[in-house]
Amino acid sequence: MAKKALPPKLIIQTGRWVWTTLWQTMMSQMAPRSTSGAYQRPTSQFRDRISAQPDARFPPAPDRYSLIVGMGCPWAHRTLIVRVLKGLQDAISIVIVQPSPENGGWIFLEPFAGCQSLAQLYQIAQPDYPGRSTVPVLWDGKTNTIVNNESSEIIEILNSEFNSLATNPEIDLYPEDQRSAIDTWNNKIYNTVNNGVYRCGFAQTQTAYQEAVTELFRTLDEIDASLATQPYLCGDRLTLADVRLFTTLIRFDIAYHGLFKCSYRRIQDYPHLRGYVQDLYQLPGIADTCDFETIRRDYYGNLFPLNPGGLIPISPDLHWLHQPSQRNFSPNRPNQ
């Protein structure tokens, strides 16, 4: 006698319940949430600075410090851009890690400081370290410890504390007379754009998603309007605010628009943001820091709860990044 199949309704209900339960469990580990279901990014723990002051624990020095980065990570990408703009390639080395879902974190392409994973390196810096092992990391090879793992502070350090070793020490991406405007943009952009795309993608309720996506595109509209009359966020000079914005915008059409449900509009659909991204991408050295294949692979291939099938979409057409922008101002070099 043939066995009766389960009713389709029961199969669907059971499958939905199982998947939703597993999804919520995985998301709670990957993306901590508030009671309303909104994503809450944990704070960085290592916050020391480089200083040329006498008796400083971490003085600027050649061949002493390394930047540990993941090429798909927008926070790490900030540090790569400032390193290039300042001309610090010979002074500060790069160590690359890649995400490993099987290991639950970042692993080194080649063993570094006796470690196979970034989590092991964090344990060297602080035994029994309980937090997340994130990139970027500014690593001190002399004392075998982490100087700083907060990207917004690392880029300020690279901008100001290694001028004696920089090829372009005259470039100041955080000038004193513009800091108020830079900080204002940074605060707005971090909350609604940099972290805003993650608040969209990692939202665990419809209300949390709706709030995040509304704030995201409201800010993008505001930025687009501002860029109609000036080349950069704060006027005629490239600043850290532009660096911080760019690393999100360059990933937007590739990853956030689809995977993170930031689907209202693409960056290339904005009349002024499009040209702004083109101009920044075409600055000397910036394109070399943009690894589009890794970006697609890291987002679509490793964020399993958001893409359980693991299918990696083909790349959108990126030829527009290499075309001249249609803006009235196309600066070729920072601070000139």
262 labelled catalytic: no
CB 270, CB 227: distance < 8 Å: no
| Dihedral angle, C-alpha 80, 130, 42, 251, nearest 10 ° | 30
Q: Which residues of 196-210 are buried (b: 16+ CB within 10 A; e: fewer)?
A: bbbbbbbbbeeebbe
Tokens encoding 148: 């700083």
Closest CA to 272 of 210, 305, 237, 228: 228
C-alpha 252: how far from chain center? 11
CB 247, CB 193: distance < 8 Å: no
Annotated active-site residue in 129, 174, 190, 198: 198
CB 67, CB 80: distance < 8 Å: yes
Annotated active-site residue in 73, 234, 262, 290: 73
Closest CA to 218 of 189, 259, 246: 189
- Taking the C-alpha atoms of residue 87 and residue 91, their distance in angstroms, rounded to an integer, is 9
198 labelled catalytic: yes
Q: Which amino acid is at 31?
A: A
Tokens encoding 241: 């605010």
Residues assigned a catalytic role: 73, 198
